Structure 1
Amino acid sequence: MSTTRHLINRQRRLAAVSAAAEERTVSGPAAAQARTRTRTRIRRPEADAAAPARAGSSPARAARRPLPVAVTLLAVLTVLLGGFAAVAANRASALHGSVAAHNTALTDTARTSEIKGMIAEAVNAVFSYDYADTARTDAAAKRLLTGKAVQQYASMLAEVRAQAPAQKLVLTTTVTDTGVETVDGGRAHVLVFADQRNTSTAKAGAGSTYAAAMFAVDAVRQDGTWKIAAIDTFG
């Protein structure tokens, strides 16, 4: 009887050991797979988080790169242009508030046209000089210059007068355009554009030289004629 119980107990122990072994055999790889899946799930969020960080670092580096020189210069340029426009606007506003209130250069077209024509003729006459006929230029200067312009003109033409006889110099001035900036009663401010030809006949083959000129004059109306009262060469 004791032998029978002993055999039964032994079989039960063997069965328990075998079941435990099978459980370890099955649970081992399954647990490993579970841990692997767990580690995989843990790694993927880290990898996903790192990928955007690396991708995002490229725009940051691009943003730190210096702007091309052309763009920088364009920006500087834009600022400067904006400053000039502001100054011009302020000047225009000031004119509208003071001088422009009396300026008839745009409204009195007949007067403006008269000024343009007379000043062009005056400039052509007084700034043309012929060494063989100086009296004509002197007469024009006496008739068409007044005020400060008389002395200014004498200084400007002094060198021409000094060299003209020896070089047999002929200076011809031709006004190509004029612009009347302001007209206020009997006074006006005029821009003058002219071409000048300087011809010397002292030596054979000396030929002519050409130059362009731009200056401004203050004009006044005296005795029915617009005369040059001041000369501004922008020097």
Structure 2
Amino acid sequence: MSTTRHLVNRQRRLAHAESARTATEVPSRRGRRIANSAPAEEGSVSEAGPVHAGARPARGRLPARSRPSGVRSTAAPRPARSPGALRRLLSVRAPVALCVLVVLLGAFGAFALSRAGSLRSDPAARNVALTDPGRTSEVKGQTEKAVAALFSYNYADTAAADKAASTLLTGKAVQQHHDMLAAVRAQAKEQKLVLTTTTTESGVEMIDGSRARVLVYADQSSTRTAGKKPETTYAAAMFAVDVVRQGGGTWRISGIDTFGQGS
């Protein structure tokens, strides 16, 4: 009886020890399977040997650094500026922008003043002949009449030529006119000479205050009546005259320029 009970107790102890051993071995094998199935980290050692850095990852898996373009980045978004920060930024930049604008406007004003001064000092800008048609017409008309009177001469009425010379000439033009008509005066009585000058065209080159310069085109006819038959010759003349405005609004010829053609 005691022997039978002893055997039964022994079998119970063996069964209990077997069940305890089985319970400890199952979790150990399960942990080894999980460890073998997990990918080896870079530089770690696995059962197949060490995994070196830069080794090609297992097929079907993507490394973390080769993330597809569609995957969102995990970087934190840049925080937006608050309205208060924007107002402070604008309050700092606005005075700077105004200072720059003031400097630019000042530079432009200085440039405009210098440019206006240069234009006023330019002789072309002072030329009234380009800007005052009334004054230009006045100079043109009086000069044409003066040229016609001064360069016309009649042997039978020399007083008209003398009067024109005394009232329409001034300055060096007095002697220039006398030299130009010296030959006509010398031959006029003997040949019964009549010289007629007609201004065909004139142009005012410049008017500067009380001085002006006029380019004159004229036709001249010279008739000699001393012979049995009158003889008439014709000629064209081109010259420039300088005129000055004197008392009473009369423009007098102060200089005669024949461009080197002589008298």
Classify the TM-score, shorter chain: 0.5 to 0.7
Are 2:169 and 1:145 equivalent residues in the alignment? yes
Q: Where do residues 57-72 of structure 1 align in structure 2 (5 Å cutoff)?
A: none
Task: Indicate the residue corresponding to 2:124 in structure 1.
Answer: 100
* Alignment-mate amino acid for residue 196 of structure 2: T
Against the structure 1 CA distance between its residues 96 and 234, is the aligned structure 2 distance closer, same or farther, given a 3 Å change threshold?
farther
Q: Where do residues 99-178 of structure 1 align in structure 2 (5 Å cutoff)?
A: 99-178=123-202
SS at match of 2:129: coil
Against the structure 1 CA distance between its residues 203 and 103, is the aligned structure 2 distance closer, same or farther, given a 3 Å change threshold?
same
Are 2:251 and 1:226 equivalent residues in the alignment? yes
Native 8 Å contact 2:120 2:126 kept in 1: no
Q: TM-score, normalised by structure 2?
A: 0.52
Task: Indicate the residue corresponding to 1:215 in structure 2.
Answer: 239
Q: What is the aligned-residue identity percentage?
A: 65
SS at match of 1:161: helix
Which of 212, 215, 223 aligns to 1:191? It is 215
Task: Give CA-to-partner distance per residue, 1:170-207, whole Å, 9 cap, x none.
Answer: 00000001100000011001000000000000002242
CA distance in 2, matches of 1:198, 1:97: 46
RMSD: 1.7
Q: TM-score, normalised by structure 1?
A: 0.58
Task: Give CA-to-partner distance per residue, 1:138-163, whole Å, 9 cap, x none.
Answer: 00110000001000001101110001
* Alignment-mate amino acid for residue 151 of structure 1: Q
CA distance in 2, matches of 1:172, 1:228: 19
SS at match of 2:226: coil
CA distance in 2, matches of 1:120, 1:137: 16
Indicate the structure (1 or 2) with the bigger Cα radius of gyration.
Answer: 2
Task: Indicate the residue corresponding to 1:47 in structure 2.
Answer: none
SS at match of 1:105: helix
Task: Give CA-to-partner distance per residue, 1:48-102, whole Å, 9 cap, x none.
Answer: xxxxxxxxxxxxxxxxxxxxxxxxxxxxxxxxxxxxxxxxxxxxxxx99632121
CA distance in 2, matches of 1:199, 1:213: 17
Matched residue count: 142
- Structure 1 alignment gaps of length 5 or more: 1-94
Which structure: greater helix fraction?
A: 1
Q: Structure 1: which 4+ aligned runs deviate by more than 3 Å?
A: 95-98
* Alignment-mate amino acid for residue 122 of structure 2: S
- Structure 2 alignment gaps of length 5 or more: 1-118
